[in-house]
Amino acid sequence: MSPAPLLEFRDLTFERNDVPLFAGLCGAVHSGDILQILGANGAGKTTLLRVLSTALTPAAGSLSWRGAPLPRQRSRYLAELAFIGHTPGLKRALSPRENLRWLGGLFPLHRERMDAALALLGLAEWADIPCAQLSAGLLRRVALARLPLSGATLWILDEPLTAIDRDGTAQVEELLRRHQADGGAVVFSSHQALALPGVRQLTLAG
């Protein structure tokens, strides 16, 4: 028998103003999986990712983590989750380094590797400049700089490639490849195809 999947969702239904956004979604994410969520604008990609992260509660359906129902072990799940939403959640008055520092108090991060992570995402020269002065693409890179520091098993990334240039896309692909090799799993939404082997896709009908 194969081991229990990391994350499994069954019959997920989400309603907005009593109109179902998606219904009966099922799926599983195993160690080493990369799952891409596809769908037209407004199909519910962001909502699905937020439901998977437990920020939103589905109208019906269940989530389980490592084979056990999620609500009862939410804090264990959160300790192994890195969720990067489509608003990056960075403080504009603080520099990238200061932002990573406060995130390091909230999540398990290798804080001693911060310089390396900033350099990896091409942020070395921007590390101490207030985020208000950075471009959208650089801000996205700052948000993603959390990933190489994180010990999380599951990454849930909402549009990680928005505003990111071609070099940046290659860097993100490299991050995902390494995470995959380490036995981690990724669920992400993007309209772009990534040059990664074995990406599974889930399309939301809308």
Partner 1 sequence: METPELPGLAAGFGALLRRDLQLAWRQRGQAVNPLIFFVMVTALVPLAVGPEPALLTRLAPGMVWIMALLGTLLAADALFHEDFVDGALEHLVLSPQPLWLLVLAKVTAHWLVIGLPITLLSPLLGLMLALPDAGFMPLLVGLTLGTLVFSLLGAVGGALTVALGGRSVLLSLLVLPLYVPVLIFGTSAVTQAAAGGGIGGPLALLGAIAALALAVAPFAAAAALRTGIDG
Which residues of the shown chain bind partner 1 in the complex (CB under 8 A)?
16, 53-57, 75, 78-79, 81, 83, 85-94, 98, 101-111, 130, 149-151, 182
The distance of closest approach from Cβ of residue 129 to partner 1 in the complex, given in angstroms and rounded to an integer, is 13
The distance of closest approach from Cβ of residue 205 to partner 1 in the complex, given in angstroms and rounded to an integer, is 22
What residues are paired with 64 via a beta bridge? 8, 69
Cβ distance 49 to 158 under 8 Å?
yes
Name the residue nearer to partner 1 (CB basis): 2 or 57: 57
Name the residue nearer to partner 1 (CB basis): 74 or 191: 74
For the CA atoms of 12, 17, 19, 23, the dihedral, rounded to the nearest 10 degrees, stands at 0
- How many C-beta neighbours within 10 Å does residue 92 have? 11
Q: Taking phi first (over 0 means left), then psi (-120 to 50 degrees means alpha), and beta for anything else, what does residue 191 get?
A: alpha
The distance of closest approach from Cβ of residue 166 to partner 1 in the complex, given in angstroms and rounded to an integer, is 26
The sign of the dihedral angle between the CA atoms of 182, 107, 145, 201 is: positive
Name the residue nearer to partner 1 (CB basis): 179 or 203: 179
The distance of closest approach from Cβ of residue 152 to partner 1 in the complex, given in angstroms and rounded to an integer, is 9
Name the residue nearer to partner 1 (CB basis): 111 or 201: 111
